[in-house]
Structure 1
């Protein structure tokens, strides 16, 4: 049966970030994920995890100036040293939080940088991060993201990501498969996840259109949950959606999935 993790960057935002851990546990989630932990001391977050019996499932590497619209710097040729420093920071947090996997956001290709140069930079950075994280016992993930929501995002299709992973050549680099993003970019969700199951370490969900909770749009989530069980997916499913109203009012799908 699937294990669900609440994405605290999008769920339970009615309360302060550190109070979302308690809210997630009370709602029945076993794990949590979120974009970044870096605004809070790792020990403070760990105390919340322990107090509420939650597993830290995932967080991202530092991704540049998020407020200014940056969505990762891994493909930025002039930010390599910053990227590498971020790997060190992520390892420190993940180690303290007991987080076994960290996601790398490839980023938007900067103006004036060619696709080939962005590609080479991303390969080099992923190769570096995969080795450093492997030494720390942490799995590196990377995620294709749709170019409608984030125009210019470098990594945006499953096959593109996996071909790039082959070029990186590390056993410690796995796919983060976001159902919402891939429904927009390519569809064919169930066969794609089955075909590449061995390379998928984490799944995320939201419905389309709107990026709201399952059951609000076109994706048949009861089928996909059963499909993931049937093909033997053993990882977590991160709930990275924008509640249509409040988080609590939109959890009917979660109760049904666990029934």
Structure 2
């Protein structure tokens, strides 16, 4: 049965961040993810997890200057030292939080980058990911990369599932995996059922995420048949987590009918 993690960067924003753990637990979530933990002491975050019986299943490595508009550094030549320092910091948090997955963002590239420049970005990306995966392997942690659609994040280096899986295969590290966000994938490529059936059995998909398309609200609002997709995930025996990375349309708890219905239907089938 699919397991769902609340994304505390997007959900429960009606509460202060540290109070979102309690709110997620009260709604029946057993795990959480979010973008970044670094504004908070790791021990305090660990207390929130423990106090509310939650698992931390994902967060991002430092992305550079997020407020200035940076969206990662892994594919940016010349930022290697900063990237490595950020990975070490992220791994310290991951150890404290018991988190086994770390998303490393690629970064933005100029739209007019030449083929040669893009090749240099790719070489840098692969070298940085190989280093990060080796470092993370020492702690039993997976490094994840995520294709992101160009409408939400113009210029992001990695946009398609094929590109992501090619990078993972070329780097060849067993703990380097793809973060398959069905929202981004639907916008860029569609064909989600075939994508899941093609890629999940490879073992290269380490995490799933979901949101409604096109507005990124609750996953049952818009063009996706989420119950069908969840059944496909179940059929494939995916044993990871599905992150609920969406923006509630009118209150987080009020918009969880989709999840409550799914849980109820699954209980009735048992």
TM-score by length of 2: 0.94
Question: Using the alignment, how far apart are the partners of 1:252 and 1:112 within structure 2?
Answer: 44
Matched residue SS, 1:67: coil
Runs of 5+ consecutive residues of structure 1 not aligned to the other structure:
none
Question: Using the alignment, how far apart are the partners of 2:189 and 2:110 within structure 1?
Answer: 24
Match of 1:69? 69
Q: In structure 1, which of residues 209, 216, 219 is the aligned counterpart of residue 214 of structure 2?
A: 209
Deviation at 1:180, TM superposition (A): 0.2
Q: In structure 2, which of residues 232, 247, 253 is the aligned counterpart of residue 242 of structure 1?
A: 247
Runs of 5+ consecutive residues of structure 2 not aligned to the other structure:
265-270
Question: Using the alignment, how far apart are the partners of 2:175 and 2:42 within structure 1?
Answer: 24
Matched residue SS, 1:196: helix
Q: In structure 2, which of residues 227, 235, 239 is the aligned counterpart of residue 230 of structure 1?
A: 235
8 Å Cα contact 1:73/1:106 also seen in 2: yes
**Mean Cα deviation higher: 22-31 or 110-119:** 110-119
Question: Using the alignment, how far apart are the partners of 1:92 and 1:257 within structure 2?
Answer: 36
Residue-pair matches, total: 259
**Deviations 1:27-78, CA, capped at 9 Å, x for gaps:** 1101000000000010000000000000001001110111111111111112
Provide the alpha-carbon RMSD of the alignment: 1.1
8 Å Cα contact 2:196/2:232 also seen in 1: no
Question: Using the alignment, how far apart are the partners of 1:155 and 1:86 within structure 2?
Answer: 20
Match of 2:152? 149
Question: Using the alignment, how far apart are the partners of 1:151 and 1:89 within structure 2?
Answer: 27
Deviation at 1:170, TM superposition (A): 0.8
Alignment map for 1:37-48 (pairs within 5 Å) = 37-48=37-48
Question: Using the alignment, how far apart are the partners of 1:110 and 1:102 within structure 2?
Answer: 26
Deviation at 1:111, TM superposition (A): 7.6
Question: Using the alignment, how far apart are the partners of 2:112 and 2:178 within structure 1?
Answer: 28
Question: Using the alignment, how far apart are the partners of 1:254 and 1:97 within structure 2?
Answer: 26
Question: Using the alignment, how far apart are the partners of 1:110 and 1:128 within structure 2?
Answer: 25
TM-score by length of 1: 0.98
Question: Using the alignment, how far apart are the partners of 1:201 and 1:65 within structure 2?
Answer: 26
Match of 2:183? 180
Question: Using the alignment, how far apart are the partners of 2:111 and 2:236 within structure 1?
Answer: 42
Runs of 4+ in 1 over 6 A off after TM superposition: none
**Deviations 1:213-245, CA, capped at 9 Å, x for gaps:** 111100000100111101111110000001111
8 Å Cα contact 1:76/1:110 also seen in 2: no
Match of 2:267? none
